[in-house]
Amino acid sequence: MQVNIKTLIDDRQCYETVRELRWPEGCQCPFCDSKRVIKRGFNEKEPAKQRYACKDCGKRFDDLTDTIFAGHHQPLKVWILCLYFMGLNLSNRQIAQELDLDRTDVQKMTTQLRESVVKKSHQ
């Protein structure tokens, strides 16, 4: 029996973890830093992704707005698994095989993740 690792990762837990790491003191607007934020339902394509609205600046955002994970076609759990495999020092080819992705997609993902880590370490 062959098991696909993507089926073992829980979407809700990935988003809860992102929320906890991103906003340890509670959700705040990525545009104006206000804590006067209300929940506005969930994303239709990713039901674990919470949407919000800021009561101060009026802008809308979600759990991934203004993060390295925003605006990509791969779900959050795929990015998390990619990070995990990078930590195990797997090659892009091995990661692509494990996640059943195109190698060029994995190359783009790992490059963006590495650049983000380097950028964060220089701040």
**Four-CA torsion 30, 72, 15, 46, nearest 10 degrees:** 110
0.75 exceeded by pTM: yes
Q: What is the pLDDT at residue 71?
A: 84
* Positions in the chain short of pLDDT 70: 1-4, 7-8, 118-123
User: pLDDT of 97-112, one tens digit each?
Assistant: 999 999 999 999 999 9
- 102's torsion region: left (phi>0), alpha (psi -120 to 50) or beta? beta
Domain 9-68 in this protein, CATH class: mainly beta
Q: Indicate the domain borders of the chain.
A: 9-68, 72-115
